[in-house]
Amino acid sequence: MSTEITPLWEVFIRSRGGLAHRHVGSLHAADATLALQAARDVYTRRGEGLSLWVVPSNAITASDPTDRDMLFEPTASKIYRHPTFYEVPDEVGHM
């Protein structure tokens, strides 16, 4: 078995002009140049994109799934953050 581990990269693709890059998967490559080339071969064989990003997987800091409620639940009660919370008479028209 190979003793040295080839680093893992996350791949992002901009599928069309005006859209954000979106995560599509990951791959292994020795460095950024090879990661870009591999991303092109593995993830864009059918015109999937116009632009690629590769990011070393270990550079990503992720939130802990067990913190999900603590982080995201409080927004559920803040209904005043949504436009529908506010009454605007019909006569005013679309707002």
Partner 1 sequence: MYSQGLNQPTEASADSPEQARFQARIDAEDKIEPNDWMPDAYRRTLIRQISQHAHSEIVGMLPEGNWITRAPSLRRKAALLAKVQDEGGHGLYLYAAAETLGVTREELVDQLLSGKAKYSSIFNYPTLSWADIGAIGWLVDGAAIMNQIPLCRCSYGPYARAMIRVCKEESFHQRQGYEIMLTLSRGTEAQKAMAQDALNRWWWPCLMMFGPPDSASQHSDTSMQWKIKRFTNDGLRQKFIDATVPQGHFLGLTFPDPALRQDPETGHWQHGEIDWAEFKTVVAGGGFQATDRLEARRKAHDEGAWVREAALAYAAKRQARKTAA
Rule CB under 8 A: say whether 25 interacts with partner 1.
Answer: yes
Comparison of 66 and 77: residue with beta carbon closer to partner 1: 66
DSSP type of residue 77: G
**Which DSSP symbol is given to 71?**
H
HEC profile of 55-67: EEHHHCCCCCHHH
Considering beta carbons, is residue 42 or 88 the nearer one to partner 1?
Answer: 42
- Residues in contact with partner 1 by the rule CB under 8 A: 1-2, 4-6, 8, 24-31, 34, 41-42, 45-46, 62, 64-66
